[in-house]
Chains A and B, each alone.
Chain A
Amino acid sequence: MTRAKSDSDSGSGLFPVALFRRPRRAARKESTRPATRSADGASVLDGTRPLFIVHKPHQYHDELPRLFERLQADVGDSVALGVSSWLPSGAATSHCEFNFACEAADVRIVDPRGYLADRQDLRVKKPSARAAQHAPYLRDEAFPVASLLEAQRECGANLLLTSGRALNPSAALRSLAEACDEGDEAMAALKQGERLALNLTMSAEWLRRSELLDDLLAELIEKRQFRIWHVRVQWAPPAKSWHQPVDEELLAGYRALAETARNEERRLLLPQTGVTGWLTLAWGAAGFGTGLFGTGQAFLEEDDDSGPRKNSTIERYFERQLLHFAERTGRSELTKDQEAYRKCTCPYCGPLLAGSAWSKKHAGLHYVHSVGMLTAGVAPAGAMPHEVHEAVAGTVRAATLFAADKRLTGQSAPAHLRTWDRVL
């Protein structure tokens, strides 16, 4: 990227030495890199099955390896599994250890989150001193591409990303050209067998405004060297992580993006999109990401004053049949119809629903497991595009019917279903 790129890719001194240390537990492995189900994680990006990415949470990430094993057992080969952690959130040893532990994940991403340096284009918090320590590029104007890739390798990533600097809507063409130039530089620095995704971060305006969307898509179509697009779109208020967007312009933008990717035989990955990401499988997205908690489920606007999410104490349970979170207090409205209600059989619901104490951890694990199952349900291996579309549309329609005679109010009401039914 012109505004950020260094003339030299040596990057010496830009990453602390500790970043390159092998994790202690790695001694039991033959390789310094985590094992994968497939040789290099690449075959899962051939478009034959969707990639379900789980974002590493700050809390309870030790639970993820077991969650992946469980998902692997439950979804079989119909869904590829991925894990994504944030490069600025920890040292390389910690990332690598985590990635080693997530052996069941086919794809491992360690996202540089370069957009944290672009607070003029996105509403994001100022990077913490700790984040800047782990990712010094967030402080510096220069982004040495080769060093950025090496840092991801050392963290155990097997799908490498470009920096993910935010696109500037007021200088759209230049901004896109800079992102692609950075991608070209990264492609040139790849080692044999490595895969790179062009990592783009943008405000919702890019998908909502037709001229910006046209510029974005035209650039992506033309730059055929980038086979994988990792696109993160920041949702504006009143979006919430537990409420899917109902903005039809935004959804139309996602549709155009996903259809373009499918038509042009590219792989579109939509991190931090939760159940909305699942919806985009209908239009041709190759994968999406979600997480146990809010940050992994949606990429929302925030500012330096944002504290913990105000509603974090509300007990919400993801109802797969409803494609929505219902507040625990209102669940009886759903469960009373025992013929229509399908009880979840995941291993997390037992401890979650047994006692009176609410477990945020189990609620999060149940949610991720459920979305993984939803994904497997609509995109069996080798499904044709129209079959995936029909399956998603059928699931949305069934959810709409299921919700129709239930008195769900407030945040528990699945307001997105009607919109989704319409836009599908």
Chain B
Amino acid sequence: MQQEPRFTEGEVTAALGGPVSYLGSGTFGDTWRYGSNAVKIICGESPPGRLQREVGGLSRVSSPYVVKLIETRTVMLRGWEWPALVFEYIPGDDVAKRIAAGRLPSVEKAEAFLRGLLTGVGHMHERVTVHRDIKPANIALRDDDWSRPVLLDLGMARGAGEATITMNGTAVGTMMYMAPEVLSGYGQRNAADLFAVGVTVREVLSGRHPFCDPRTNPTPAEMIRLIDKGPDRLPAGVPARVEQLLDRLTCSRKASRGSAASCLRLLSGKEVAA
């Protein structure tokens, strides 16, 4: 993730016509707070159609667990018109920052976080939209509340019938959160989002990635082997049904993960097959 904005605060303030504050940067652009909104200026290298995909994904889904798109616009900066997306501003940290700072939730709050994520993913999947890049940095906590996660950055999202996005012939997404079938070229479908939810929640519970130390930069083949070996044990105190669900979500076999809806039923303790 790029840490420095591409434009200065003064430039963006002038372009938007009011005071702004810098929120963060990603591969494809910078995000600024502007009033009660967040404005994402698409100014990085971006695969063709990415903006349309993000807009398409967001307009299909209406959920308190998925960031709300208010409008699309352009912003004039340094003589160029840059496309921009105006979102609701989500007050609160993103999950990556919380993990990095060691500010982890209690087991109960982690369970609520899992429920919120599954609900958001379920809302996306109901609208036949796959997020394809779920990871801690793409999840905000509304009002810093673990039970109110909000999925951000639907730039990779894909609806039914849309072409698969690849860059340089490889799958798009973030490798440390990619499902094994994606790493082996199967394609990113609903089950891959659920795998990423499972990895993220395990990381939130233990404070570390469940399969490896990301600094070791494993290759996709190594990553698949690590996933096949199974995740690290969860900390003590995690309820059995949560552990069972997280085991399902991070399973190599995509069908074992089920759907977001059946995962929510399992989490609620409704009787389903073991």
Interface residues of chain A, those whose CB is within 8 Å of chain B, are 210, 213-218, 221-222, 224, 256, 259-260, 262-265, 283-284, 384-386
Contacts and interface: CB of A to CB of B under 8 A. Distances in A.
Contacts of A386: 271
B190 A222 contact: yes
Contact of B273 (A215, A221, A224, A385): A385
A218 B254 contact: yes
Nearest to A217: B255
Contacts of B253: 210, 214
A263 B266 CA distance: 9
Contact of B255 (A221, A265, A284): A221
A222 B126 CA distance: 10
* Max count, chain B CB within 10 A of own CB: residue among A215, A283, A384: A215
Contacts of B191: 218, 221-222
Nearest to A173: B186
Given A218-B191, A262-B272, A265-B261, 11 more contacts: A213-B255, A216-B255, A217-B255, A218-B255, A222-B259, A259-B273, A260-B255, A260-B258, A263-B265, A284-B273, A386-B271
Nearest to A213: B255
Contacts of B271: 384-386
B7 to A, nearest CB: 41
B192 to A, nearest CB: 10
Contacts of A284: 273
A2 to B, nearest CB: 15
Given A221-B191, A222-B189, A283-B273, A263 B258 contact: yes
26 contacts: A210-B253, A214-B255, A214-B256, A216-B255, A218-B189, A218-B191, A221-B190, A221-B258, A221-B259, A221-B262, A222-B189, A222-B190, A222-B191, A224-B259, A256-B255, A260-B255, A262-B272, A262-B273, A263-B258, A263-B265, A263-B266, A264-B262, A265-B261, A283-B273, A385-B271, A386-B271
A264 B262 CA distance: 6
Residue in A221, A265, A385 whose Cβ sees the most chain B Cβ within 10 Å: A221
A265 B261 CA distance: 10
A283 B274 CA distance: 10
Nearest to B186: A173
- The 6 A-B pairs at the shortest CB distance, nearest first, are namely A217-B255, A259-B273, A218-B255, A218-B254, A263-B262, A263-B272
A218 B271 CA distance: 21
A260 B266 CA distance: 13
A57 to B, nearest CB: 34
A222 B258 CA distance: 9
B47 to A, nearest CB: 24
A47 to B, nearest CB: 13
A263 B273 contact: yes
Contacts of A210: 253
Contacts of A264: 258-259, 261-262
Contacts of B261: 264-265
Interface in B246-265: 253-256, 258-259, 261-262, 265
Contacts of A221: 190-191, 255, 258-259, 262
B68 to A, nearest CB: 24
A386 B270 CA distance: 12
A221 B126 CA distance: 12
Given A221-B259, A263-B262, A264-B259, A214 B272 contact: no
Contacts of B190: 221-222
